[in-house]
Amino acid sequence: MSNWIKIAPLSEFPQQGARVVRHDGKDIAVFRNAGDGVFAMNDKCPHKGGPLSQGIVSGNTVTCPLHGMNICFDDGKALAPDEGCVGTYPVKVEEGVVFLQI
């Protein structure tokens, strides 16, 4: 448990964008925002399962590409008035490399 998995250099992640990490048949969206914060959550919108990794990233949220729900990186919760929550994962950047704890 709780071991950090090395993913890739931060430079491989587009600013204000995301990359998909596939682990054990499951997709995890790893986001990098404009301030170089890195966040990870299941790549599945709580509304109808839209791929969050494909959304527009602004501030600490991503807008789901299917019906526009806004999900906050900090806690995986949908911004009001929408409701819903998606699982998040710890991430860290060490010496320019992104690690994910699954």
Partner 1 sequence: MDMTPPDKKMKLVMVGNGMAGVRALEELLKLAPDMYDVTVFGAEPHPNYNRILLSPVLAGEQTVDDIVLNPLDWYSENNITLHVGKKVVKIDRTHREVETSDGMRVGYDRLLLATGSNPFILPVQGADLPGVISFRDIADVDAMVQASSQYQHAVVIGGGLLGLEAANGLMKRGMQVSVVHIGPWLMERQLDEPAARLLQKSLEEKGMKFLLQKQTAELVRGESGRVCAIKFKDGDSAPADLVVMAVGIRPNTELAESSGLHCNRGVVVSDTMQTFDPRIYSVGECAAHRGIAYGLVAPLFEQAKVAANHLAQHGISRYQGSVTSTKLKVTGIDLFSAGNFGGGGQTEDIVLSDPVGGVYKKLVLQDNKLVGACLYGDTVDSAWYFQLLREGRNIADIRDHLMFGQSNLGDSGHAGQNKAAAMTDEMEVCGCNGVCKGTIVKAIKEKGLFTLDDVKKHTKAASSCGSCSGLVEQILSSTLGGDYSATPAVKPVCGCTERTHDEVRAAIRDHKLLSIPDTMKFLEWRTPDGCATCRPALNYYLISTWPGEARDDAQSRFVNERVHANIQKDGTYSVVPRMWGGTTNASELRRIADVADKYAVPMIRVTGGQRIDLFGIKKEDLPGVWADLDMPSGHAYGKALRTVKTCIGSEFCRFGTQNSTQMGIDLEKAFWKMWAPHKVKFAVSGCPRNCAEAAIKDVGIIGVDSGWEIYVGGNGGIKTEVAEFLVKVKTAEEVLEYSGAFIQVYREEARYLDRTVHWMQRVGMDYIKKRVLEDEAGRKALYQRLLYALSVEKDPWAERVKDGVAKHEFEVFSV
Q: Is 15 helix (H, G, I), strand (E, B) or coil?
A: coil
Window 71 to 100, contacts with partner 1 (CB under 8 A) = 81, 100
Distance CA 67, CA 1 (A): 35
Residue 43: CB minimum distance to partner 1, A: 8
25 secondary structure, DSSP code: T
Contact 52, 29 (CB under 8 A): yes
- Contacting residues toward ligand FES, per CB under 6 A: 45, 47-50, 64, 66-69
Query: What residues line the site for partner 1 (CB under 8 A)?
Result: 5, 7-8, 12-17, 19-23, 27, 33-35, 48-51, 54-59, 63, 65-68, 70, 81, 100, 102
